[in-house]
Amino acid sequence: MPAMPTPATSFHTSTTISSSSRNDLSEKAAEELRTANATPPDGGRAAWLAIAGAWMVQFCTFGYLNAFGVYQDFYTREFLSHESPSNISWIGSVQLFLMYAPGMLVGHTFDAGYFRHVQIAGSILLVFSIFMLSLTQQDHYYQVFLAQGLGVGLGVGMLYIPSLSIVSHHFRRRRALATGIAVSGASCGGIVFPIMLNHLFTMSSFGFANGVRTSGAVIAALLTVANCIMRTHLPPKDRSLRDTFSIKVVRHIVSDGAYTWSALGAFCTNLGLFVPFFYLQLFAADHGVNATVTTYILAILNAGSTLGRTIPVALADKLGVFNMIVPAMAVSAALIFALFGATTTPGVVAVAVLFGFSSGAYVSLIPPMLGLLCTDLSELGLRMGLAFSLVGTSMLVGTPIFGALLGGNGAAGPLVWWKALVFAGACIVAGVIFMGIARTIFVRRQPTIPSTTTFAATQSKPGSERQPELVFARTSTGLRRDGACHGS
């Protein structure tokens, strides 16, 4: 009986299966390698250089915007004296709005691997706009608005979020502390620039134009160094820039209750939080505070903010991010109301120091809080961008509303402080309530630990779904997730 012929497809099928298996193994190995490379190293030369670069960017962006109170006072009393405080504050509020509003676009451009491109473009635009501001003419409001409000604001907006996100690429367990160190640059800028601008504007040999150019030269030098030393660590996902704007991804993020309530809390808080940075120097001058103290009041405010951006974030790595940010917001609200009685030099100085501390803690804890709520680091830029876009809207309208309630018209007319202060304080109180709701949701969704034993992920069995490098512990305030992700 003749032998049965071997099927012709046998070898082909075997080869196909073998090739398919090899491809699957290659893809799996590549994904494992990408995941391993994506793990934040929590230190190293590149990580600390990233912090140094981010510090310089924060100094030049948020730090420069923190000095707008000097411009507000100078414009109100001299340079744009025919404009109301509310109209002038639109310049500063548009800056703050544009610092946050492009967040979704800038954040996902960062996620897609274009960090270097965004940083360089933002640096050029910021420096160019500052030098254009120095060319504006007195009583030409539209020139100042275009150069400072739009130009500076857009430049800052391209730099701010990527400089914070890159820190999260390099740090996980110490992310709050690392972020706090980076954002302390904003407070240091808020100390240096008000002193510099106040003195240069009043010097006959400098004046407004040369004073602005000097500040632009300082910013240009620091941003050049920052762009040379910052490097990202997390590789971009293998997807197009268009894919990063998937409605499905956005819907997934917005459906996170803790994230949504915390974003609403930040929205309400920022309606009133930046009022002292815009108006405290004018408040001091209007209440007869010593002229020298008035000149330095924003520097004093930002000096307190420097401590607030470092000490509370260091404690947040042990006590929990939410446990630090909610009290900081509550103290900020109380200090706004304290201005009703703080009309003397010691009182204004005390409020400036304490408000700087509490507001600095709040601002520095927002990025690690968003990182805490993020389950996929490749979404971090989008999560920050969505939240900051919402926050930017509140910063756009908050200080102009305060200015409208304040009344007055340029250098003439009485200023009605009580209505404006009630508005600012009430907005922050609403933010405290919403942030408290976010904390409650976050704590309740944590895994239930049956005993007081601390579990380390490195001790889990192979195949366990426990996330690496996370430690869970039971505390008196609820479940705490140790490392970079303390939440309660």
Q: What is the CATH number of the domain that holds 98?
A: 1.20.1250.20
Q: Are 394 and 267 in contact (CB under 8 A)?
A: yes
Place of tokens 């073998």: 18
| Lowest mean pLDDT segment, chosen from 51-65, 397-411, 462-476 | 462-476
Q: How confident is the model at residue 467 (pLDDT cuts 50, 70, 90)?
A: very low
pLDDT given for residue 476 in this prediction: 34
Structure token pair of residue 92: 């500063």
Q: Are 227 and 119 in contact (CB under 8 A)?
A: yes
Is 259 part of any domain?
A: yes
pLDDT given for residue 145 in this prediction: 96
Mean pLDDT of 213-233: 91
pLDDT given for residue 5 in this prediction: 54
Please tell me whether residues 311 and 291 are part of one structural domain: yes
Please tell me whether residues 371 and 285 are part of one structural domain: yes
Q: Torsion angle of alpha carbons 277, 278, 279, 282, nearest 10°?
A: 110
Q: Are 108 and 116 in contact (CB under 8 A)?
A: no
| SS3 category, 472 | strand
DSSP label at 457?
A: G
Q: Are 353 and 304 in contact (CB under 8 A)?
A: yes
pLDDT, the chain, mean: 79
Please tell me whether residues 471 and 370 are part of one structural domain: no
Is 80 part of any domain?
A: yes
Is 20 part of any domain?
A: no
Nearest-10 crossing angle of helices 380-406, 257-273: 30
Q: How far apart are CA 445 and CA 202, in angstroms?
A: 56
Terminal CA-to-CA distance of the chain, rounded, Å? 80
Please tell me whether residues 385 and 469 are part of one structural domain: no
pLDDT given for residue 481 in this prediction: 43
Closest C-alpha to 192, from 170, 218, 172 = 218
Other beta carbons within 10 angstroms of residue 448's beta carbon come to: 7
Is 7 part of any domain?
A: no
Please tell me whether residues 431 and 475 are part of one structural domain: no
Please tell me whether residues 248 and 331 are part of one structural domain: yes
Max alpha carbon distance in the chain (Å)? 117
Side-chain half-sphere exposure of 312, counting CA atoms within 13 A: 30
Please tell me whether residues 292 and 145 are part of one structural domain: yes
Please tell me whether residues 363 and 457 are part of one structural domain: no
Sheet holding 478-481, edge to edge: 455-456, 471-475, 478-481
Is 19 part of any domain?
A: no
pLDDT given for residue 23 in this prediction: 52
Please tell me whether residues 469 and 427 are part of one structural domain: no
Structure token pair of residue 269: 């808080």
| Lowest mean pLDDT segment, chosen from 177-181, 309-313, 410-414 | 410-414
Q: Residue 244 pLDDT > 80, yes or no?
A: no
Handedness of CA 253, 256, 259, 262 (dihedral sign): positive
Handedness of CA 295, 301, 302, 306 (dihedral sign): positive
**Best mean pLDDT range from 100-104, 133-137, 438-442, 448-452:** 133-137
Please tell me whether residues 359 and 316 are part of one structural domain: yes
Q: pLDDT tens-digit profile of 354-410? A: 999 999 899 888 888 887 887 666 666 677 778 888 888 888 888 888 888 887 655
Give the per-residue SS3 of 377-410: HHHHHHHHHHHHHHHHHHHHHHHHHHHHHHCCEC
DSSP label at 409?
A: B
Is 26 part of any domain?
A: no
Mean pLDDT of 250-255: 76
Q: pLDDT tens-digit profile of 419-461? A: 999 999 999 999 999 999 999 988 887 765 444 333 333 444 4
Q: Are 176 and 317 in contact (CB under 8 A)?
A: yes
Which residues form the domain of 380? 42-234+244-445
pLDDT given for residue 470 in this prediction: 36
Q: pLDDT tens-digit profile of 4-41? A: 555 554 444 444 445 555 555 455 554 554 444 555 55
Please tell me whether residues 220 and 282 are part of one structural domain: yes
Query: Final residue of a domain: which of 413, 429, 445?
Result: 445
Q: Residue 243 pLDDT > 60, yes or no?
A: no
pLDDT given for residue 346 in this prediction: 93
What is the count of structural domains for the chain? 2
Burial 300-323 (b: 16+ CB within 10 A, else e): bbbbbbbbbbbbbbebbbebbbbb
Place of tokens 């706004």: 336
Mean pLDDT of 70-84: 89
Please tell me whether residues 453 and 434 are part of one structural domain: no
Q: How far apart are CA 440 and CA 477, in angstroms?
A: 10
Q: How confident is the model at residue 414 (pLDDT cuts 50, 70, 90)?
A: confident
Cα–Cα distances (Å) from 65 to 62, 191, 293, 368, in that order, read: 5, 11, 20, 22
Q: How far apart are CA 143 and CA 75, in angstroms?
A: 13
| Lowest mean pLDDT segment, chosen from 2-6, 88-92, 162-166, 324-328 | 2-6
Is 18 part of any domain?
A: no
Q: What single letter denotes the amino acid at residue 339?
A: L
Q: How far apart are CA 380 and CA 375, in angstroms?
A: 9
pLDDT given for residue 4 in this prediction: 54
Query: Final residue of a domain: which of 410, 427, 445?
Result: 445
pLDDT given for residue 11 in this prediction: 47
Is 4 part of any domain?
A: no
Across the strands, what pairs with 479?
Answer: 474
Q: Residue 471 pLDDT > 50, yes or no?
A: no
For 132-238, list the strands marked E by DSSP. none
Q: Residue 412 pLDDT > 60, yes or no?
A: no
For residue 314, give the H/E element and its range.
helix 311-319
pLDDT given for residue 261 in this prediction: 92
Q: Are 372 and 480 in contact (CB under 8 A)?
A: no
Percent of the chain whose predicted confidence (pLDDT) is above 90: 34
